[in-house]
A and B are shown apart, each in its own frame.
Chain A
């Protein structure tokens, strides 16, 4: 019981994820700045931002619904932290696993987008409403390719559990290389889920101020920003577990170091995409996802079916 509490609250649960997310946010911002020939923030910047936001007053607009307005950031943070329980981080076994936990993890990672929508809708401000609508529209475009590419990898492993998937790939090394097109699709659509890079349309600063987060301030905004950071870590570790499942039996210390390297590698790719690409318009994004991403994801399923047929011979 005590071990379970320790696992959930401290390591690898709440405290570890929060500290790691601050480090990853610093790494992302520093890399973004160095790409642009600037100096970038110091290492303690995300901590300082969170402390400053917690010290400020949360102003709730008069027309907003107070209960829903206050509860949304808590829901978002809770769901993202829950999702990390089922992901195998540096071992072939996650904290808790069962058949079908892939679906649960993907579902839990969709909740932050829904809370952004509801938070923006119940803020009752023009900019928030527009941002909320854009969040949902974006959700309909990137979910299918993301789910399909993750499920294609699970299809090859013949199981619906993330932990058993990693066991399968450890037994058949180098088979994860046939999932590389899926990896590319998954990273691009992860940018859409995190609302970064060319897909930061719901939070487009020059068009709708801040989208759904316009009316949030103080502790609630701090919680939302923490959610976004932890979502970055959890999404990257999901991708690392699904598409880069090698070196998972090295033991605790080397395995942990490899896990950190994998996550920082994915964060670097996300930073690079953010730097070299401009923002798309929402109709261009829908076109792009449905015309280019979705067919490649379905192609990945086809490839995996063929490979599955070959290896079961």
Chain B
């Protein structure tokens, strides 16, 4: 049978966010995959340069709904490093608490989405029902179910009271019971094992070569976790295990995420038990001094990296965000080689894609030399103006109307 080209295109029931996968099929077997991203690009990095640091905090938080605290904390850590602030310990512990609660809600969401992609809607309904416990806890602690807004430059904005601590501990016990049941289901349910085992195989060497991060890498035995390699917030003072697995496939990734859920409950209990007293913030200046910083964070999907460059004014010069899905997406095309079409939704869902986090890439390639080069922003701006002028489009009228300096 000859090759049929099928678009798992920008709009498709398998994808939660737009991304384009062009598949060449022969019968049910996938012959070729080509991945194309960029449908979710919103110009956030450019928007950050026109707002002050305090306003940027809320913008960066809204890059993604599921890992919003991850981006917010990573950005705030970078700014605090440039300004040389030392955040009080109570604030670091509260940040860790919200971070682990976010990890719990993200992993429960992933379990449900994975169940939906293989046609197991019951798992979706049950895990998302349990996720409501975490969402209610987050609403109680921070004031909102998503986009928590708990960070501010120099610390956190809200305190945690005794009653809230008890609610959190009660929620953790309930969730621990439910997670033990889900681990049993994952290990004993026959049809689930058949759909997840042997699918999306990435060996240890492949992970290191393709640069995968997060649970995708940890399921192949690569013990890479920013919380242990480069501790931030309160992770340096709390003892916990990195969960790895040796199955190398999607079943292994399920077990890793379920194991991380169990670890998160233990971390939250330790954080609440040893919560230090003290102030919640230090006073942060409005004008951040000259400098640049690079900050890393273990988001539920992997390693999240932020880079901030300041020049002594109230607005940053450059903010760059590299989300973990960008590191994992190269592995998807590799994992889909020589598999069936029915494996495609679960393989894409296995890296836990968050295309909203990912879409901010600029890569310039010189077509004659076939090598990439770094182009400064002003050069790119001039290049685009010249390009349009050669084709008869002149922006000077438009600039005069909007009063933009050329």
Q: Does B bind A?
A: yes
- CB of B192 within 8 A of chain A? yes
Q: Which of the segments B74-82, B112-120, B135-143, B385-393 contacts the partner chain? A: B112-120
Residue of chain A at shortest CB distance from B341: A207
* A to B contact number (C-beta, < 8 Å): 73
The reply to whether A206 and B125 contact each other, CB–CB distance below 8 Å, is no
Q: How far is the CB of A137 from chain B (nearest CB, A)?
A: 9
- CB of B238 within 8 A of chain A? no
Find chain A residues with CB under 8 A from B27 CB: 133
The reply to whether A206 and B13 contact each other, CB–CB distance below 8 Å, is yes
Q: How far is the CB of B159 from chain A (nearest CB, A)?
A: 35
| Assembled-state Cα–Cα distance A127/B117 (Å) | 17
Find chain B residues with CB under 8 A from A204 CB: 119, 342
- CB of A269 within 8 A of chain B? no
Range of interface residues on B (Cβ < 8 Å) = 20 to 34
Find chain B residues with CB under 8 A from A71 CB: none
The reply to whether B13 and A209 contact each other, CB–CB distance below 8 Å, is yes
Per the 8 Å Cβ criterion, residues 177-212 of A in contact with B are 198, 200-201, 204-209
Q: How far is the CB of B224 from chain A (nearest CB, A)?
A: 30
Given the known interface contacts A207-B342, A207-B344, the answer about A278 and B12 at a Cβ–Cβ threshold of 8 Å is no
- CB of A284 within 8 A of chain B? yes
- CB of A172 within 8 A of chain B? no
| Assembled-state Cα–Cα distance A276/B120 (Å) | 8
The reply to whether B343 and A281 contact each other, CB–CB distance below 8 Å, is yes
| Assembled-state Cα–Cα distance A258/B125 (Å) | 34
The reply to whether A283 and B340 contact each other, CB–CB distance below 8 Å, is yes
Q: How far is the CB of B43 from chain A (nearest CB, A)?
A: 31
Find chain B residues with CB under 8 A from A127 CB: 6
Per the 8 Å Cβ criterion, residues 1-36 of B in contact with A are 4-7, 12-14, 25, 27-28
Residue of chain B at shortest CB distance from A126: B6
- CB of B194 within 8 A of chain A? yes
Per the 8 Å Cβ criterion, residues 284-303 of A in contact with B are 284
Find chain A residues with CB under 8 A from B116 CB: 206
Q: How far is the CB of A33 from chain B (nearest CB, A)?
A: 9
Residue of chain A at shortest CB distance from B189: A278
Residue of chain A at shortest CB distance from B339: A281
| Assembled-state Cα–Cα distance A131/B376 (Å) | 50
The reply to whether A282 and B342 contact each other, CB–CB distance below 8 Å, is yes
- CB of A1 within 8 A of chain B? no
Q: How far is the CB of B44 from chain A (nearest CB, A)?
A: 29
| Assembled-state Cα–Cα distance A208/B116 (Å) | 14
Given the known interface contacts A130-B341, A206-B14, the answer about A278 and B115 at a Cβ–Cβ threshold of 8 Å is yes
- CB of A37 within 8 A of chain B? yes
- CB of B181 within 8 A of chain A? no
Find chain A residues with CB under 8 A from B6 CB: 126-127, 130
- CB of B126 within 8 A of chain A? yes
Per the 8 Å Cβ criterion, residues 107-148 of B in contact with A are 115-123, 125-126, 129
- CB of A35 within 8 A of chain B? yes
| Assembled-state Cα–Cα distance A133/B194 (Å) | 23
| Assembled-state Cα–Cα distance A285/B341 (Å) | 15
CB pairs A–B below 8 angstroms (8 shown): A127-B6, A206-B116, A207-B14, A208-B341, A209-B13, A275-B122, A277-B120, A278-B192
List the 3 shortest-distance A-B pairs measured between CB atoms, nearest first: A279-B119, A278-B120, A36-B125
- 20 other A-B residue contacts (CB within 8 Å) besides A204-B342, A207-B344, A284-B194: A37-B129, A126-B5, A130-B6, A130-B341, A133-B27, A200-B119, A206-B345, A207-B14, A207-B341, A207-B345, A208-B341, A276-B122, A278-B115, A278-B191, A278-B192, A278-B195, A279-B118, A279-B120, A280-B191, A283-B340
